[in-house]
Amino acid sequence: MKRAIIFVSSLLLCLCMTGCSSSEFMAGSYYNNYEAGQMDGDYKISGSVHVEDSIMVLYFTALEKTSFHLYGELKDISGSDNLQLVYVNSDDVETVVLDEDVSGKRKLTVDTSLRIDEGKGHLEFRGESLAFKMKLAASNIEWNKFDHLNVTSWTEAKTGDVQAPESGSASDTGDSGDLLNDTLATYTSEEDEYTVLSTEMAEDSNVTVKLIIDVTNQNEESSMTFHGFHLYYRTADGQTVDVIDYEGDSFAMGSFRWKDSFEQEVKLPKGTNELRLENKKGKNYKMTLSVKVMQTE
């Protein structure tokens, strides 16, 4: 699956994480007013952070040894414990990026070049009962050396989902091939399953499904949980063709927004195929889906 994160100028993902989100909920840690994505070739993350033990910041899978520059600031810090930012590689070898006693400190600066080992790795904050606002960015990224670099974990993202820098508008997905059908619709957490559209095939053939999903809470006065979604085709003979199966674990009090794009090629049989959306368990959210189904060239 090809996948690209879309940078959202408002808040993007409020996570009790993990994954991205974002991106996992860990021992009471959470993000609020969270924003993440690509801009001008950099990967930027910002929001309010509460750390109880640890919380994931960024996941990546490097195809070979590489590096990127990590810069930004942490401000409005409250708490009296040590705050650490740690890089953990696939062998669980740790590199401490930041280690500061934050007692009496209101602001910290991050500005370092980080060497990345081949394989899976992640960045995480560590501390006890710490709260702060962060603005971090990874720059000088050699995107061709990464199979994955995102606030979503490797289990949430599928194989081969490198996020190359985007250009043009957020809705520009580089369409190629004949458009079979498309739709723009909003769905809520009230129903378990919806029919998104139907694709009629004259013969067995491959299609490419392009999705932009925008998730927000319906009522900011109430808590919201979002556990992901399953997009699949139901064929005329009752078979299931999986398109996207996204697992998340997001929680928010107040404003929440997550916007992302996905692209997946699947083979559909001759006849009428219904594209179905299945909600994972959650509450108080709505999803706006922009879907294009293209004939694969």
Residues 108 and 187 in one domain: no
Residues 137 and 183 in one domain: no
Residues 194 and 250 in one domain: yes
d(CA 233, CA 267): 10
Residues 143 and 195 in one domain: no
Smallest Cα–Cα separation from 85: which of 73, 74, 96, 69? 96
Mean of per-residue pLDDT scores for the chain: 80
Residues 291 and 194 in one domain: yes
Residue 209 lies in a domain: yes
Residue 9 lies in a domain: no
Residues 6+ apart with CB under 8 A from 32: 14, 47, 48, 50, 252, 253, 254
Task: List the CATH number of the domain containing 90.
Answer: 2.60.120
Residue 160 lies in a domain: no
Residues 142 and 39 in one domain: yes
Tell me, what's the pLDDT at 36? 75
Residues 222 and 278 in one domain: yes
Beta pairing partners, 141: none
Range of the domain at 204: 178-295
Whole-number CA gyration radius for the chain: 20
Give me the count of residues in the chain. 297
Task: List the CATH number of the domain containing 274.
Answer: 2.60.120.260
Residues 89 and 195 in one domain: no
In total, how many domains does the chain have?
2
Residues 196 and 126 in one domain: no
Q: Please identify every stretch of the chain with a pLDDT value under 50, giving residue numbers as ranges.
A: 1-27, 155-174
Residues 192 and 271 in one domain: yes
In degrees, to the nearest 5, what angle opens at C-alpha 184 toward C-alphas 22 and 288?
30
Residues 6+ apart with CB under 8 A from 152: 18, 19, 20, 21, 22, 23, 59, 248
Tell me, what's the pLDDT at 144? 93
Residues 196 and 274 in one domain: yes
d(CA 289, CA 18): 23
Please spell the DSSP secondary structure of 229-275, one letter per residue.
Answer: EEEEEE-TTS-EEEEEEEEEEEEEES--EEEEEEEEEEEE-SEEEEE
Kindly report, residue by residue over 47-62, the tens digit of the pLDDT. Answer: 888 888 888 899 999 9
Residue 163 lies in a domain: no
Residue 255 lies in a domain: yes
d(CA 257, CA 44): 16
d(CA 97, CA 107): 16
Residue 36 lies in a domain: yes
pTM for this model (two decimals)? 0.50
Residue 231 lies in a domain: yes
Tell me, what's the pLDDT at 167? 31
Kindly report, residue by residue over 209-255, the tens digit of the pLDDT. Answer: 999 888 888 887 788 888 889 999 999 899 999 999 988 777 776 66
Residue 22 lies in a domain: no
Residues 119 and 191 in one domain: no
